[in-house]
Chains A and B, each alone.
Chain A
């Protein structure tokens, strides 16, 4: 690879040919503001649309300003990022963006996480020059998961890139043109009327308040303050390694104990762990996997923990709805067990038990609202919060999260294993299943349980593992675009596997749509992943079937994995849906 020499603000720098001015500037630690540019290194994603023009810089011998994010460097190039001309142009661009943007930052859900707000602060724009017509669109709160406030859209197209190119869900497109251009679904339809899978990658990508979650904090506050209700929480694996970020803690801090303490401070009656039901999922799904392998039919088995992925399959591959495991997701298994086993044990009526899940995910909000997860008019999971919403509640309650002591989860639905905790990262579900399957198939307590080939942030991973004498071929996919590629191959008969784990979000739940905003910094995601594997090691029990509470649940209530009752409570079916 040849190098190119240039100077930026009179500092010489050598970069690889084909690099952009922005990349060269990064090398010199010169900051150039960007908005539409969105890069996720670990996922090899770069959205370089050059539309916002906030990154313009002066290049000598060039008549107009150059957008740093997409202008390739040239030998001998002389770049100035901080001339009056460049700074004034940037301020004018920002001024124009703000002239068509509501200035309700104080009450905006994205406040303090908004990249536009940050740039306005950095550029010190205090007097706005331009004003005029502002775009107005109907607020979309049609779904249980994603709120779209298009008045705030700045046409960076990052959401469109996430939806169409990364996830290949294809709900969004640039619509209209000129001043009236906006990113929206076909016919400006509401999200609930589309094939949106609510993965929330658009929400993660959106630099402003145009895309956020539907907020259920106040439903939780109300429930907590309702004396007639018992409120129990379940917390998903990926939440514990991310929530600390909202309180200035290092990415990758494992803050399970603090989170339990804080939830108790909010007034939770019980704090349980989704890791418990993740272990339960392995019992059911693992059993199904072993059966399918033994009979050598209906292979590969696809995981079904991820509701975004499940909905994707229902819309995009309706002919393959027989493939996923029928096991419900950990969230829904938890709800079903809480409203049956736990209610029976405690004597609480299901309608008086409020199950609140805390998820890294927006699709979980949608999943909990799916009609098949309501029995006798009572939802298995009543309210779903994201990691971000829970952090906001802690802030509202004045809880200084980072200073808290640790507490333990409550029993019996609070016990989880190391196998369950890695559900939060791509490859984790499969690894957990392998750990259990190896023991069952070999009849031994297998000691080599670190299946490293299935780990990491790569979009498609393949592994061939010896599980109790069976050469098991598995694939792990994260990001729906990768899932589509793999499924097309399977459909065409070009790839054969026994088991495939699929997660909608690149990297898995650690990069979920409900996690603290990472603004494209995938180092944060990597640290969350590493923290989960550390958390796995920290657990004394690292195999799902060795979870004592799970064993007890089967003994006392369910019988065996795949029993009639287990099927009734813990399994579901899938519906072929329209492509658009």
Chain B
């Protein structure tokens, strides 16, 4: 059924809200993470239980996207209209009967419950412990992403209705500019400005693109939004299209995200049926069509000119700017490229106003930012927090600190383009400028936490390996320079380093930053520079003493059996290359010539009798 006016939309949404529903909503987290962790089996157990006990009217089972609690998947949440709720983590199918019986009265025994640590600034104030403010993720994990009615019931498409029927394009841009929303893809360019450039171009064919090529390894917030709330992106793109005068939108999504693709396709179909996309939207005369284009595994396609070339069916090689895409983008037409998270802020800004948005975050970087917490952190998952929160709050209060009680060493933000941040900056209030000032960057918001067992030289090498591999190969500094950087780092980690190599690393880094064509190349040396700045002693240990303090670099470590050995033989059994021998109940020995330094014996020994030096 087509909805062709704002009034009809409001009426429809009200009717959806008033629809009869069960007393308890049961949300089941069906994002990629959840499904991989076994939510599917949990869901089946729930449905079986309901069928078996004829509880159809008692529970509304809703398959939702990621709740951000990835560490505790499978996750389910029971909730009612009055705000009562219980969240269960690490749910197994056999816990389901107990959980269902307990309902919302009290947590079932023998389960793992989780306190809600977020609030929704659009509707409520935070309660104690609710550090996270969900704007981008306001529907993710709350509604069924495959049912557009649930999005509409939460106010969905009302912003689009308002924009196309009661605002001039310039007014829309004014609101976005006033909100000072900045691009969430990494560089933080003001979205309103970007839109105004494209809007200022003469009328004619224009494009609006969603960059859903979330290539930054360790960042998965865009996937969560696309899987959990695809309509938020569609609505925002239509708003952006209206603002700049584009009638065509393209969502460029990486092929590694099949579930997100499926949900986007479904959402587009449903939105077209409702008339939210297509011809004459809300009777305004505004037409807007969306299509999906796929990436094929190239990190550099996150760069906007490369992304555009990829959509055009070319190699994803960046081109020099200017001309900027806003002037000459897709098919040489004015084009705006924004990322998923940026779009996910748009409708809320339209609904609540620029001032409301600026009420969150810092003066220079208003709003919230979603961080993907991963690595050696206890609570791996998504956290959307107001800009300006400290790393300590994010890592310790939200992320639960370091896993297994190990010591925090550093956190990498900004992915392969960013840098590592150490203990001394844990209390820095983070926004775009703050991160830049300490040699890192916001990037897409991946936060990889590292502990004392991580070798920072090796981490730098990992990132260089990544950028060297993902370099498009077009410009000399990136194609050859990053390769040489990697080779220099390889020398250092394999014990062939010297001070001259360290110097070369520094000068080469400066050259690449100064001369590379695109952002990927220009930022590629950042991980090296920031680890060098913060952990120079580790580099020196590698090049001067040929020692890896963290015990990671294989050529610089040795495993030995100590006197604690009781001769149980477990290490010999686990050794994949048969390098360990010894009589039963006698001290074993490692044949160093055979040893591949995999650490299997070290991990296996229950008596801590293997020493790593």
Contact = CB atoms under 8 A, between A and B. Distances in A.
A–B in direct contact per CB < 8 Å = yes
B459 interface: no
B514 A85 contact: yes
Given A93-B511, A178-B468, A53 B475 contact: yes
Interface string A65-90: 10100111000000000000100110
Nearest to B513: A64
A100 B319 CA distance: 23
A51 B476 contact: yes
Interface of A: 49-54, 56, 64-65, 67, 70-72, 85, 88-89, 92-93, 96-97, 99-100, 129-130, 132-133, 154-155, 173-174, 176-181
Given A50-B320, A70-B320, A132-B484, A93 B473 contact: no
Interface stretch (B79-87, B105-113, B407-415, B515-523): B515-523
B479 A92 contact: no
A65 B515 CA distance: 6
B287 interface: no
If over half of A's interface residues share one DSSP class (helix, strand or loop), that class is named, otherwise mixed; here it is: loop
Contacts of A85: 514
A320 B132 CA distance: 70
B473 A53 contact: no
Contact of B469 (A54, A93, A97, A178): A178
Given A93-B515, A129-B504, A155-B479, A177 B487 contact: no
Contacts of B116: none
Contacts of B479: 155, 178-179, 181
A96 B476 contact: yes
Given A64-B515, A181-B474, A100 B522 contact: no
Interface in B471-505: 471-477, 479-484, 487, 504
A243 to B, nearest CB: 35
A179 to B, nearest CB: 4
B508 interface: yes
B322 to A, nearest CB: 6
Interface in B492-547: 504, 507-508, 511, 513-517, 522
A154 B522 CA distance: 20
Contacts of B473: 155, 174, 176-181
9 A-B pairs with least C-beta separation: A181-B473, A92-B511, A96-B480, A178-B471, A179-B483, A50-B320, A132-B487, A70-B320, A177-B473
Interface string B316-335: 01011010000000000000
B309 to A, nearest CB: 11
A160 to B, nearest CB: 11
A177 B476 contact: no
If over half of B's interface residues share one DSSP class (helix, strand or loop), that class is named, otherwise mixed; here it is: helix
Contacts of B320: 50, 67, 70-71
B41 interface: no
A58 B595 CA distance: 52
A56, A70, A154, A177, most chain B CB atoms within 10 A: A177
Contacts of B482: 178-179
Contact of B476 (A70, A71, A93): A93
Interface string B70-93: 000000000000000000000000
12 contacts: A51-B475, A64-B513, A93-B477, A96-B476, A96-B480, A96-B511, A130-B480, A177-B470, A177-B473, A179-B468, A179-B471, A180-B473
Interface in B127-169: none
B298 interface: yes
A361 B470 CA distance: 40
A179 B480 contact: yes
B612 interface: no
A130 B484 contact: yes
Contacts of A179: 468, 471, 473, 479-480, 482-483
Contacts of B469: 178
B352 interface: no
B94 interface: no
Nearest to B298: A177
Contact of B511 (A50, A89, A155): A89
B44 interface: no
Contacts of A173: 315
A50 B517 CA distance: 8
Given A64-B515, A92-B508, 14 more contacts: A49-B474, A50-B320, A51-B474, A52-B475, A53-B477, A53-B516, A53-B517, A64-B522, A72-B322, A89-B511, A130-B504, A173-B315, A176-B473, A177-B315
B484 to A, nearest CB: 5
A49 B320 CA distance: 8
Contacts of A88: 511
Contacts of A176: 473
Contacts of B507: 92, 129
Nearest to B483: A179
Contact of B477 (A96, A100, A154): A96
Given A64-B515, A64-B522, A89-B511, A174 B476 contact: no
A71 B320 CA distance: 8
Contacts of B513: 64
Contact of B472 (A52, A53, A72, A181): A181
